[in-house]
Structure 1
Amino acid sequence: MATLFLYSNTFSFFFITLVSLALLILRQPSRAASCTARPVIFNFGDSNSDTGGLVAGLGYPIGFPNGRLFFRRSTGRLSDGRLLIDFLCQSLNTSLLRPYLDSLGRTRFQNGANFAIAGSPTLPKNVPFSLNIQVKQFSHFKSRSLELASSSNSLKGMFISNNGFKNALYMIDIGQNDIARSFARGNSYSQTVKLIPQIITEIKSSIKRLYDEGGRRFWIHNTGPLGCLPQKLSMVKSKDLDQHGCLVSYNSAATLFNQGLDHMCEELRTELRDATIIYIDIYAIKYSLIANSNQYGFKSPLMACCGYGGTPYNYNVKITCGHKGSNVCEEGSRFISWDGIHYTETANAIVAMKVLSMHYSKPPTPFHFFCRR
């Protein structure tokens, strides 16, 4: 018993130390000095980076316990706290990105805007809020911002100028829903992977449109290991699992998508020679958390913190996180998955630390590269 207690305390200490280190790195005041110009970021994507767009745009209820850690209230984020994009913004000492559709309060979008909406795909491209629609919203946002910035309005200095748009960072994190929905419709593995070239083509087209709007700095996230999500594991009956308990077919499809996305970035570096295009291997980071969960101090890496059903996945599509009958783990519990689909703040903090390390970016590039002059 004494040995077990010591073992448990050792991992507890390691876990607390790791998370504290991640948060410390993300809070370093010297980071702000690395930006010699005001950082402006425009983000496009799905629920992995939605900071409240679904609630603002459709009034979709995302209630407590979402947001219970950092915000102490629901902010429309699908997590118990901050998302990866929140930590990346904090690493620059800039405000968290507000949803483009959030018109309430004093939002002036001086540091950019977030066009990401939970559930967004790339295909079909003309449905709310596909990537194509998000880019159209950006075009309208830019046009209106430049109009206000050039007006005689006493507040014109509060709006993003043409240089602000030119020097901004354009982040894209999308594609997960296209693959997941194909499987959910009953499509086979081969049918699903046949869609990947179309998805990649749409992302490439969107980047080129942003380039035509003046964008020159792009930060592209690949998709994570779909086959390790508790939601997928609980809903798929015929399971071909890898050594860590993840669905092989889902992860294989995600890997093929990521290879295509990487190749697309290489093509764009040749086609758009005056643009900087950074590819981030989110898959490698997140799969490492699953595969080495004990080393990170996480327990039950394939189980949701908030959901219904208990072990092994604590996910039930009819009783999801926040709905009547669902349960939630204690604050500070060591879970990777928050609700069966999205990550906990703790996991997001570690993912952010690894993204900022430059070990997973191609080419290796500091996140603040776009705001250095």
Structure 2
Amino acid sequence: MAVGRRSFLRGVLFSFLYISLAASSLPAHSQSQCSSAHPPVIFNFGDSNSDTGALVAGLGFPIDLPNGRSFFHASAGRLSDGRLVLDFLCQSINTSFLTPYLDSLSGSTFTNGANFAVVGSSTLPKFVPFSLHIQVMQFLHFRARSLQLGKPITQQGFHDALYMIDIGQNDIADSFAKNMSFTQVAERIPTVLAQIEDGVKSLYDGGGRKFWIHNTGPVGCLPQKLSMVKDKDLDPIGCISSYNRAALLFNEGLRRSCEKMRSQLRDSTIVYVDIYSIKYDLIANATKYGKFLERHELRFASPLMACCGFGGPPYNYDIRVPCGQPASEVCGVGSRSVSWDGIHYTEAANEFVASKVLSTAYSVPRLRFNFFCRS
């Protein structure tokens, strides 16, 4: 455990280093646009943080209003009131939102890529849909058929594409949900990281060279966890310490994995993005970012309370009455919430996170997102 504690402390120091950079100015989207160049083809792998409709298309699971109300004004298959971080990143380089690979009725030709992320996905167990391993196998099938049919993407297109990965939150959350101790969760993390490394290497072997990898956010700050966990060990801002320590331990390991893969995978570009620090800083200093939201005529407040849920303060979350159910209540449009449904973020919070990501202050190496535009 001594090694684990040292790794954890290094992770904490690493996170605080990035939090200190949070005061950097928010970049205009135009700074990241693919000017005369072409947007990259993008393939995304992950969980509900970046699922743009696979749960609905693949499993028929209904995601109804008020989900999607803020931007799409209709259900858009996303567990949010509007756009996700992935959507904002796509918009920043003038490319269309990614269509779920499982959506056969979208009419998409997948010329700008595809989204393999599915709500609830994790890395373990690796052969259970829709784990990262399954998502990568789906991609390899998509690649093989594309090359066989001569469309929609060429071999050079797969080589030049950007491969994005945002997964790991459910591995941590589900482990605690199974009553594992912090020690048991920590011991499981290397296996989770190994699956992510295997996924990247499979994509690399398939021709991919450009990777954009998000670490996981502060799981212990989710209203769902705060409402359900008894005997909570809360930190100074009211989040569950053990959950966040596990997330930091995972993130430090992921950072090291990215560092290792850069040296192993020749000619690769692997960007590690510290989502944890952005989200934790937003929650800890929610009122500080009112200026960011002035143009939206709203300010962040009550960051540990769900906008759409049931039960009222302090968390407004009840597992028996999830967002969208008849008895659930939802805050007004233009709300002050960070959390949408107790697990996922509001569009306003996602826009804030995306803006910080685009600043490059949280990326290693510090590459602008439009670095991946095609010439």
TM-score where L is the length of structure 2: 0.89
Tell me, in whole angstroms, the C-alpha distance in 1 between the residues paired with 2:337 and 2:182.
29
Kept after mapping to 1: 8 A contact 2:39/2:374: no
Tell me, in whole angstroms, the C-alpha distance in 1 between the residues paired with 2:153 and 2:250.
34
2:306 to 299, 304, 307: 304
Match of 2:20 in 1: none
Give runs of aligned pairs for residues 167-246 of structure 1, distance below 5 A. Answer: 167-246=160-239
Match of 1:330 in 2: 332
Kept after mapping to 2: 8 A contact 1:47/1:118: yes
Match of 1:371 in 2: 373
2:350 to 348, 351, 356: 348
DSSP-derived class of the 1:32 partner: coil
What is the identity, as a one-letter code, of the residue corresponding to 2:308?
C
**Segment drifting more, 293-302 vs 281-290:** 293-302
What is the identity, as a one-letter code, of the residue corresponding to 2:304?
L
Kept after mapping to 1: 8 A contact 2:32/2:370: no
Deviations 1:134-160 (A, max 9, x none): 0000001111111222xxxxxx5xx11
Give runs of aligned pairs for residues 22-171 of structure 1, distance below 5 A. Answer: 25-26=28-29, 28=30, 31-33=33-35, 36-149=37-150, 156=151, 159-171=152-164
Residue 266 of structure 1: how far off its partner (Å): 0.5
Q: Which has the higher contact order (CA 8 A, sep 6+)?
A: 2
The reply to whether residue 284 of structure 1 matches residue 277 of structure 2 is: yes
Residue 31 of structure 1: how far off its partner (Å): 1.4
Kept after mapping to 2: 8 A contact 1:48/1:173: yes
Tell me, in whole angstroms, the C-alpha distance in 2 between the residues paired with 1:315 and 1:105.
33
Change (3 A) 1:38 1:30: closer
Kept after mapping to 2: 8 A contact 1:168/1:371: no
Give unmatched runs, 5+ long, in structure 1: 1-20, 150-155
What is the identity, as a one-letter code, of the residue corresponding to 1:54?
L
What is the identity, as a one-letter code, of the residue corresponding to 1:110?
T
Tell me the matched-pair count.
342
DSSP-derived class of the 1:194 partner: helix
Residue 105 of structure 1: how far off its partner (Å): 3.6
Residue 32 of structure 1: how far off its partner (Å): 2.9
**Which one has the largest radius of gyration?**
1
Tell me, in whole angstroms, the C-alpha distance in 2 between the residues paired with 1:372 and 1:144.
23
Residue 29 of structure 1: how far off its partner (Å): 8.4
DSSP-derived class of the 1:197 partner: helix
Tell me, in whole angstroms, the C-alpha distance in 2 between the residues paired with 1:291 and 1:326.
27
TM-score where L is the length of structure 1: 0.90
Change (3 A) 1:338 1:272: same
Tell me, in whole angstroms, the C-alpha distance in 2 between the residues paired with 1:199 and 1:265.
14
Deviations 1:94-132 (A, max 9, x none): 000000000114210010000000000100000000000
Change (3 A) 1:336 1:30: closer
Kept after mapping to 1: 8 A contact 2:50/2:84: yes
Match of 2:256 in 1: 263
What is the identity, as a one-letter code, of the residue corresponding to 1:169?
L
What is the identity, as a one-letter code, of the residue corresponding to 1:209?
S
Kept after mapping to 2: 8 A contact 1:200/1:261: yes
Deviations 1:233-253 (A, max 9, x none): 000011111110000000000
Tell me, in whole angstroms, the C-alpha distance in 2 between the residues paired with 1:178 and 1:329.
30
- Moved beyond 2 Å, runs of 4+: none
DSSP-derived class of the 2:66 partner: coil
Change (3 A) 1:194 1:30: closer
Match of 1:18 in 2: none
Residue 39 of structure 1: how far off its partner (Å): 1.5
Tell me, in whole angstroms, the C-alpha distance in 2 between the residues paired with 1:355 and 1:339.
23
Residue 38 of structure 1: how far off its partner (Å): 3.8
Deviations 1:55-81 (A, max 9, x none): 111001111100001100111100000
Tell me, in whole angstroms, the C-alpha distance in 1 between the residues paired with 2:33 and 2:113.
19
Tell me, in whole angstroms, the C-alpha distance in 1 between the residues paired with 2:84 and 2:66.
15
What is the identity, as a one-letter code, of the residue corresponding to 1:248?
S
Residue 30 of structure 1: how far off its partner (Å): 7.3
